[in-house]
């Protein structure tokens, strides 16, 4: 289902459509944004810039292959890469929070685990 995806466009959260999530996928053992990931991050930045009171939460993930420590570091590097791109795209650094969840399992394909989620959290939600 997700095979071949890199930067993925907007994914609406079921519980509140006003809080969009953007997904950026990475190659195995990589924290480098490809063209699709950079485009998705730019789209997320544009959404965040439409609401100057919104905050942006960036959460990095990695697959379960390898050690927990290596995957924690990789997920953190992925989140940092997306955070840096958001800031380069005009989102004020004070509005962005980046964190790492480390290794995570997947439902359909390992690529699901190699992701960063970008959540735009509007004020009041």
Q: For 15-69, what is each residue's pLDDT tens digit? A: 455 567 999 999 999 999 999 999 999 999 999 999 999 999 999 999 999 899 9
- The domain segmentation of the chain, as residue ranges, is 7-121
Measured between alpha carbons, how far is 125 from 118 in angstroms, rounded to an integer?
Answer: 16
Predicted confidence (pLDDT) per residue in 62-101, tens digit = 999 989 999 999 999 999 999 999 999 999 999 999 999 9
pLDDT at position 62 is 94
Q: Is 36 helix (H, G, I), strand (E, B) or coil?
A: helix
Architecture of domain 7-121: 2-Layer Sandwich (3.30)
In the beta sheet, which residues pair with residue 13? none
Cβ neighbours around 52 below 10 Å, total = 9
Residues of the chain with pLDDT > 90: what percent? 68
């Amino acid at each position: 289902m997700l095979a071949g995806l890199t930067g993925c466009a907007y994914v609406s959260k079921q519980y509140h459509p006003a809080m969009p999530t953007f997904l950026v996928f990475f190659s195995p053992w990589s924290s480098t944004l490809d063209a699709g990931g950079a485009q998705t991050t730019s789209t997320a930045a544009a959404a965040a810039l439409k609401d100057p009171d919104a905050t942006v939460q960036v959460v990095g993930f990695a697959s379960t292959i390898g050690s927990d420590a290596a995957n924690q570091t990789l997920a953190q590097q992925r989140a940092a890469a997306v955070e840096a791109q958001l800031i380069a795209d005009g989102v004020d650094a004070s509005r962005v929070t980046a964190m790492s969840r480390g290794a995570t399992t997947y439902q359909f394909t390992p690529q699901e685990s190699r992701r960063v989620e970008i959540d735009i959290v509007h004020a009041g939600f």
